[in-house]
Structure formats: structure tokens, C-alpha cells
Amino acid sequence: MNVSFDYNGKNVLIFGGTSGINLGIAEAYAACGAIVGVVGRNAEKAEVAREAIAAHGGKAFCYTADVRDFEAVTEVYKAFVRDADKIDILVSGAAGNFPAPALGMSPNGFKSVVEIDLLGTFHVLRAGFEYLNVPGASVMNISAPQAMIAMPLQSHVCAAKAGVDMITRTLAIEWGPMGVRVNSVIPGPIDGTEGMARLAPTQKMRDAVEKAVPLQRMGLPSDVADVCLFLGSDAARYVTGVILPADGGAVAAGSAGMGMSSMGH
């Protein structure tokens, strides 16, 4: 972490927070003093994440839910407010992905990703609103460059994440008068994540991705987490309805970069 924010007395709940970029976000909030809840599909993984945060002195709880299941998501909120009280920062980061051409994907494959990414985001925000500390709460949806850049092998994710960003902008309008800010963060290619391993499995593809990023490197989870620390803070008090890439310029470079590299060119 290169920046300093004080989150003592704040509660943060992170769906998908048990691994990868979202765990990095959870660790960053915890390091700044927040009480953090991480939610994942796998109970063992969730407990490992909780222990990792606690090992660094953070206060953490973990929960299990599939964001496709509205009732399960609701139960997580009930448990978190029992454990920690109201939510100041809500991060919706659960996502699914696999690379496949549209012609190599069954309707159920497309539906699975749309249900996790898009319907899951609706579930998390819809069920979560009544547990937010209003006014003042900050909601973040973790989107993806696919929301902005048409990418081969990613028709399901492109469609789902574009929808996620429109939920962000719509709810910023609906919830703004109640004092709730809603923003999207777009992580670029982040090193060491399951997503990158799936999208760029060979060294040649990794090199192509790095060359395609204007800042000439893959990102780190902390590059994204620092942006989330900003968005959750009072420094961002007048920022809502924004789609904010933390991506080294990858989205600005557009299909000239990442889209073709995902095809191995």
C-alpha cells in the first residue's frame, strides 16, 4: 500500500473477497483499520482468507454464499450486521469467467457468467441496501475492461460487465439522494490472479499483455486496492456514478491492446 487512509470504526463487506484482487482489497481496508467481512462460495477458502487478514492484525469475518442465490446473499447481510453492525463500504466483486468463442459456448455457459456477474451484482446491491450506513455509504462494483473493450472469447463477460457498469450508473442516480455513492472499478490485467491465468496462460501471451498496457506492466492487487481506498473515503465524497479503470491505461488503448492479445497474437 502506497497511500494512507484511516478506516478505523468503518465496516467493509466484500463479496468475492476470498481470493485474488478482491482479497487484496479486503487486506487493504483491514490494514487501514476497518472491520472486514469476506464472502466466497467455498467455506474453506473463506476461512483461509479470514485467517490471512487476521494474521496481519486485521479484524475479519468470513461468510459463504453463491451470489446467484438471493436468499443466501441476504443471510450473509444478516450475519454481518450481527457480527459487525452496519456496512459503510460494500464491494461487489464476485465474478466468473472462462475463455470460449460464442460458437463454443452453450447457452448455459453464457448464462452462468451472466448470472454470477450481472444478476449477482443486482442481488448483492438489492439485498444490501437496507444494511448500509445511510447516508454516507460507498458501494463499489468490480467491473472489467471487457465492459468497455469488445474482446474475442469473452462475449459473456463483455455483456455481463457492461450491464454491471450500467447498474452502477443507474443506482448512483437512484441512491444519490439518499447519500449513497455507487462507483465501478475496472482492474486491468492483474498479475497472479486466476483471471489472468485463464486469459493469458502462456509467457508469450503475458508478454503481449504487458506490451499492450501503456504503463508497460501488469498491475498488482494493491494498484486496484488503493483506488478502492480512495473511493470508500471522504476524499471521494463528491464522486458517484463513475467507471474508474485502475489498469495502466489498458482500456484507453482499447482493442489495439488487450483484445487481440487474448487471442494469442
Shortest distance (Å) from residue 99 CB to ligand COA: 7
Sign of the dihedral defined by the CA atoms of residues 133, 5, 169, 23, in that order: negative
| Residue 2 near ligand COA by CB under 6 A | no
The CA angle 49-52-56, to the nearest 5 degrees, is 145
| Residue 133 near ligand COA by CB under 6 A | no
| Residue 194 near ligand COA by CB under 6 A | yes
Cβ-based neighbour number of residue 121 at 10 Å: 28
Transcribe 45-90 into DSSP letters. Answer: HHHHHHHHHHHTT-EEEEEE--TT-HHHHHHHHHHHHHHH-SBSEE
- Establish whether 143 is a catalytic residue: yes
Considering only 100, 162, 205, 239, the residue that binds ligand COA (CB under 6 A) is: 100
Nearest to 228 by CA among 65, 29, 52, 72: 29
Q: Which residue has the cell 450481472?
A: 118
Q: Which stretch binds ligand COA (CB under 6 A): 43-51, 54-62, 104-112, 165-173?
A: 104-112
Question: CB nearest ligand COA: which residue?
Answer: 96
Q: Are strands 243-246 and 181-187 parallel, antiparallel or unpaired?
A: parallel
Shortest distance (Å) from residue 201 CB to ligand COA: 12
| Residue 98 near ligand COA by CB under 6 A | yes
**How many angstroms separate the first and last alpha carbons of the chain?**
34
| Residue 70 near ligand COA by CB under 6 A | no
Shortest distance (Å) from residue 52 CB to ligand COA: 18
- Report how far residue 114's alpha carbon sits from residue 144's, in angstroms, rounded to the nearest whole number: 13
Q: Which stretch binds ligand COA (CB under 6 A): 95-103, 127-135, 177-185, 244-252?
A: 95-103
| Residue 108 near ligand COA by CB under 6 A | yes
Identify the active-site residue in 161, 184, 222, 262. Answer: 161
Shortest distance (Å) from residue 11 CB to ligand COA: 25
Three-class SS state of 175: helix
Interaction site with ligand COA (CB under 6 A): 95-98, 100, 104-106, 108-109, 112-113, 116, 194-195
Q: Which residues does the annotation mark as catalytic?
A: 143, 161
